[in-house]
Amino acid sequence: MSFIVIIPARLASTRLPNKPLADLGGKPMVVRVAEQAALSGASRVIVATDHEDIRAACAAHGVEACMTRSDHPSGTDRIAEVARTLALPADAVVVNLQGDEPLIDPGLLAACAALIGDAVPMATCAHRLHEAADAFNPNVVKVVLDKSGRALYFSRATIPWHRDGFSQSKDALPAGYVPLRHIGLYAYSNAFLQTYPTLDASPLEAIEALEQLRVLWHGYAIAVHVTDSEPAAGVDTPDDLLRVQAHYRS
């Protein structure tokens, strides 16, 4: 399946200022992310940014970039603007890759894009959890699926709740119980990508602080690719940056 990767990148960051331009082995992080995306088989990789410094850094390394408005409430809105600017057809498949994922497995992008079809306008990924601490961590977003592999619900809570197993102990996961952790990678048909910003916010997303719940609340399907391996963590904090910089030095 043909697909395009668009990488939203803003310079402002409360926890890690100038994060997209952080040096990773001699190249800015956003360039490393774009290079990783190019390994996925995408027909095109574009950085969507509202800052000239990011556009210039991309240009210096041969990475395509598109300037956007600065007032977008989310990365999804930002990539939707780029898709409109490029006049992509309604059936084009667009992958939304965050600009702080320089170690993302390129195969995940292709697998996520492949799930888009007439009845599935949006897709994402997940991996299996094996530690109780992760299952109970509200910063680890969980997802439960239906028999077709589509999302029933996303939550910061421990879902599904193993009634009998957790009544005995919460120190370890019950035998045979394997919850799924959501991976924040998304693919959309362009038709739905343009529809998404017009959807009213839902009470569920306000409670959970999970934007993807808006899609389910409005009745749209989200297919989920379950990968066998846990993906490398992204860069959210200075410690994360040190870890990834060490990777590029090795």
Where on the phi/psi map is residue 204: left (φ > 0), alpha (ψ -120 to 50), or beta? alpha
Quick one: average pLDDT of 15-30? 92
Give the separation between CA 102 and CA 232, rounded to whole angstroms: 9
Least confident of 13-17, 19-23, 151-155, 243-247: 13-17
**CB–CB of 168/72 below 8 Å?**
no
pLDDT at position 220 is: 98
CA pair distance 208, 205, nearest whole angstrom = 5
Report the pLDDT value the prediction gives residue 13, as an integer from 0 to 100: 67
Q: Mind listing the pLDDT tens digit for each residue in 180-189? A: 999 999 999 9
Distance, first Cα to last Cα, the chain: 34
The mean predicted confidence, pLDDT, of the chain is 95
Give backbone dihedrals phi and psi of 218, rounded to 5 degrees, phi first.
-90, 0
Query: Which residue, 144, 160, 162, is CA-closest to 152?
Result: 144
pTM of the model: 0.94
- Residue range 114-145, pLDDT digits in tens: 999 999 999 999 999 999 999 999 999 999 99
Residue 236 is predicted with a pLDDT of 87
Q: How confident is the model at residue 17 (pLDDT cuts 50, 70, 90)?
A: confident
% of the chain exceeding 90 in pLDDT: 88
Nearest to 7 by CA among 34, 28, 44: 34
Q: What is the pLDDT of residue 71?
A: 86
Residue 214's pLDDT is 96
